Copies of this chain bind each other. A is one copy, B any other.
Amino acid sequence: METLVVQTPSRQYPIYFGTGILENKEYFEQHIPGDKVLVVTNDVVGPLYLQRLKHTLESSNKLVFSLEVPNGEIHKNLTTLSQIYDKCMEARLDRKSTLVALGGGVIGDLAGFAAATFVRGVPFIQVPTTLLAVVDSAVGGKTGVNHPKGKNMIGAFYQPQAVVVDINTLHTLDDRQLAAGLAEVIKYGLIRDVAFLEWCEANIERLMKRDPEALRYAMYQSCKNKSDVVSADERESGIRAILNLGHTFGHAIEAGTGFSTWLHGEAVAAGMVMASEMSYRMGWLTKEDVGRVESILSRASLPIRPPPTMTLEKFMTFMSIDKKVESGKLKLVLLRGIGNAIVTGDFPMDVLQETILYFQKLVLSHPEQYEVPLASQSL
């Protein structure tokens, strides 16, 4: 078992990484002030782990309620949020009741936002069951839901009391989910940690085979990198935005495909390649650097091209309402060398458009390089 203590201006909390710790009440009990707990999960993760977690919490004499919502990013909306509120009311939760998110990033965002806003804030514990949720959502306090016209447009910054990562839960992830998580792991190497990128390049096969030690190191190192960035900038006013490498392109892909076919991590992978290509066109990366980014992502079985349906017009439409847009000025995360991400609005719009057109042409002329992801199985 390993613990990373995350420092933020508003709170300090532990992330526990361990094997089988879902069944160990010590990691939960000390972070639950009241008598009542509501576990929010989905209809894929619930059948696997809910009874085990309930049993653990009940052994601390907690009154445990649970709610299974439908699985998938398309359900990360105000309707599902409203169902969580209904359950909170039905269970008569109060300000000392605790919400527990058992599932992937969608469940964490939904339950976290419900926790941030039910009676203006109740304690919250995250139990992420996907690699992506661990490395992307366990640090940073972002919670929220999608609006039909844009991802994560409604939300709050809200820190958990604790995050409990049971490495055993990653064994039930399908390969595609695992790869989607690796996209974010690799991201930390690309934006600020070349040594970790080299470690990933040397250990990608171990990670793909779910070696517990390799997974634990990758998760710890990812959360540590994220924590270092976030603790300097909790409310995303500056440097924190480097965490969004590939995300502006990626969000456009997700939105443009209706949030139903691409996994978030897959869209980010293709987006990171697009950001790298654009950085090359800005003169900041070599063509070899771009090849290095494509190589590690390919080895992790991730898509490195946007889908053919994503025309220039679609990209421009969905990028212009992304939250990174401030007063009409589009800002992007680009690479000034591998391991050195910057946030900038200072680029010719032509270079952005040429980059998008380059990929569209490439994809249409080499359809064999491009595999359409299946419908989302997001946990």
Contact surface of A with B, Cβ cutoff 8 Å: 34-36, 78, 82, 85-86, 88-89, 92, 94-97, 113, 116-121, 142, 144, 147, 149-150, 153-157, 235-236, 320-321, 323, 325-328
Contacts and interface: CB of A to CB of B under 8 A. Distances in A.
Main secondary structure of the interface of A (DSSP, over half): mixed
A117 B121 CA distance: 13
B142 A89 contact: no
A155 B144 CA distance: 13
Nearest to A325: B94
Contacts of A118: 153-154
B94 A323 contact: yes
A89 B96 CA distance: 34
Contacts of A35: 327-328
B144 A96 contact: no
A113 B117 CA distance: 9
Contacts of A85: 78, 147, 153-154
Given A116-B156, A121-B157, A156-B116, A149 B325 contact: no
Contacts of A82: 78
A235 B328 CA distance: 35
A327 B156 contact: no
Contact of A142 (B34, B120, B144): B120
A193 B88 CA distance: 37
Contact of A326 (B88, B95, B116, B120): B95
Nearest to A82: B78
Question: Which of A120, A156, A323, A326: most chain B CB closer than 10 A?
Answer: A120
